[in-house]
Structure 1
Amino acid sequence: MGGFVAAALAFPTALFSFALVVVVGYWLLMLVGGLGFDALHGGHGVGHAGHVGHAGHAGDLGHGAGGHAAHEGHGGHGGHGAQDGHGADGRGAHHHGGVLGALGLGGVPVTVAVSLLVALAWFVSLAGTVLTSGAPARGGVFAVALVASWAGTRLLVRPLSRLFPEDRPATRGDFVGRVCVIRTGRVTADFGQAEVTAEDGSTATVQVRTLTEEPGLAAGRTALIFDYDADGEHFLVAPFDPALPGG
C-alpha cells in the first residue's frame, strides 16, 4: 500500500492524481446530488437557446408589425436566441468544445472527455512510475501518458458519442408544412402575420404572404405554410381547413 501511495504522489503521476481527485469528486457530487443526466451537458442550455420563438413571442421571426427587425430566433438581441435558430455560440459547443473538438474528442460532453483524459493519463503514468526510475525516464513517462490518454480517449468517445446525440437547432425550414393561425386582418402578397407552434411547443409570430389574393385568410383562420421565401424573409401560406378530409 505504501508503494502505491508513493508512486501516486511521485512525478509525473502526482500531476494527474490531483486532477483525478477533482474528477472523482465531481462525479460523486453528480451522483449524490442527483443533478440528473442533463447536467452532463455544460452548454446544454446554450444549445436550446436558439429554439425559434422560445419564451413566447420574444423570438418573433422576420419584421414585426411595429417595424422591429427581430429575425428568427432573435430575442431582441437579449440572449433568448440566435439567428436561424442556432445556439448562442452558433455551433452546439456543449458537444464539440473548442480545443477538445480540434483534438478529435468531440461528440460527447466536455466533462466526459476530460474525465477520460485524466483517468487514462493517471493509469498510464502510474504504471510507468512503478516500472521506471530517474528524472529522464519519468519525463518520458509523462509524455507517453499524455499521448496514450489522448489516443485512448479518442478511441472511446466514438462509441460513446452515440449516447449523446446533439440537438439539431430549429430553423425556418422546420415551419414549412405546419399549420398556422392568421393574426392580422388580412393576408396579401405584401402583408400578413401568423402564429405558428414549433415542435417543442413554443410559439412564434411569423411574416406570411400569399401568391394570390385569398379573401378567406383573415384573423383567426388557419393556413398551411408551404414554402419559405429567403429573399423576402417570409413564409408562403394557403387556406387550410383542418375539418376537411386529409386536413
Structure 2
Amino acid sequence: MSEFLHVALDFPTVFFSFLLIVVVGYWVVVITGLFDLDGADAPWLGFGGVPAGVTLSLLIATAWLLSLIGSQFATGPLLWAVPAVALAGGWLGTRALISPLRGLMAKEILPSRGDFVGRMCVIRTGLASHDFGQAEVTAADGSSAVVQVRTTGQDRLVRGDNALIFEYDADGEFFWVMPYESEH
C-alpha cells in the first residue's frame, strides 16, 4: 500500500491525484444530496450530451489511471511526457466511454403544437367557422395559449363555446375543432 501511495503522490501522477481527490469530493457531495447532478452539458471538445460533472470525472479518472501506469514504465526524460500522453489518452478514453452514455441521458422534451390535440379549448373570437377563429387552450403544464382554429362542415362556434381539438393542420398552422359539450 505504501508503494501505491508513493507512486500516486509522486511525479507525474500527483497532478491527477489532486484532481481525483476533487472529483471524489464532488461525488460525495452529489450523493449526499447537497449538490445537484443535473448540471450543464459539456459540449467542449466533443463531450456534448452528458453532464459536465460526469464528463470531467471520467476524464480525470482515466488520465489519472494512465498517468499511474505510465509512471511505472517511463524513465528519465520520457517521464516528463507522461502527463501529456495521459491527458490525451484520457480524452480519447472519455470520448469512447461517454458515447453510450449519451443515449441514457434524459433528453428534455420540448412542447409541440401536437400536444394540444385531444384537449378542450374555449372559443375567444366572436365566431369560429371553417375559415376563421381563435381559441384558448390550456397545456398539460397549466400554461395557456391562444391558437388559430377551424371547424368542419357547418359547425359554427361563438365566443365562450367549448370545443375539442382533434387535429393539427401543419400547412395552414391551425387546429381543427368540433363542438364539445361536457357531461356534468
- TM normalised by structure 2 equals 0.79
In structure 2, give the amino acid aligned to 1:42.
Answer: G
Shift of 1:133: 2.9
Aligned residue in 2 for 1:74? none
Shift of 1:25: 0.2
Higher RCO (Cα < 8 Å, 6 or more apart): 1
Q: Does 2:25 match 1:25? A: yes
Aligned residue in 1 for 2:57? 115
Q: Does 2:39 match 1:98? A: no
RMSD: 2.8
Q: What is the identity percentage for the equivalent residue pairs of Structure 1 and Structure 2?
A: 32
In structure 2, give the amino acid aligned to 1:117.
Answer: L
Q: How many residues align?
A: 180
Matches of residues 77-226 of structure 1 in structure 2 within 5 Å? Answer: 94=41, 97-99=42-44, 102-103=45-46, 105-134=47-76, 136-175=77-116, 177-184=117-124, 185-188=126-129, 189-198=131-140, 201-210=141-150, 214-226=155-167
Q: Is the 8 A contact 2:169 2:176 kept in 1?
A: no
Shift of 1:19: 1.2
Shift of 1:164: 1.5
User: Highest Rg: 1 or 2?
Assistant: 2
Separation of aligned partners in 2, 1:242 and 1:151: 61
Instruction: Could you tell me which runs of 5 or more consecutive residues in structure 2 were left unpaired when the two chains were aligned.
Output: none
Aligned residue in 1 for 2:38? 41
Separation of aligned partners in 2, 1:129 and 1:242: 77
Q: Per the alignment, do residues 223 and 142 of structure 1 end up closer, same or farther by CA in structure 2, a change over 3 Å counting? A: same
Shift of 1:16: 1.1
Shift of 1:112: 0.9
Separation of aligned partners in 2, 1:130 and 1:242: 79
Q: Is the 8 A contact 2:119 2:137 kept in 1?
A: no
In structure 2, give the amino acid aligned to 1:144.
Answer: V
Shift of 1:122: 0.4
Instruction: Could you tell me which runs of 5 or more consecutive residues in structure 1 were left unpaired when the two chains were aligned.
Output: 44-93
- TM normalised by structure 1 equals 0.61
The answer to which structure has the higher strand fraction is 2
Moved over 3 A (4+): 188-191, 211-214, 228-231, 240-244
Q: Is the 8 A contact 1:173 1:228 kept in 2?
A: no
Separation of aligned partners in 2, 1:119 and 1:153: 9
Separation of aligned partners in 2, 1:242 and 1:150: 61
Shift of 1:42: 0.8
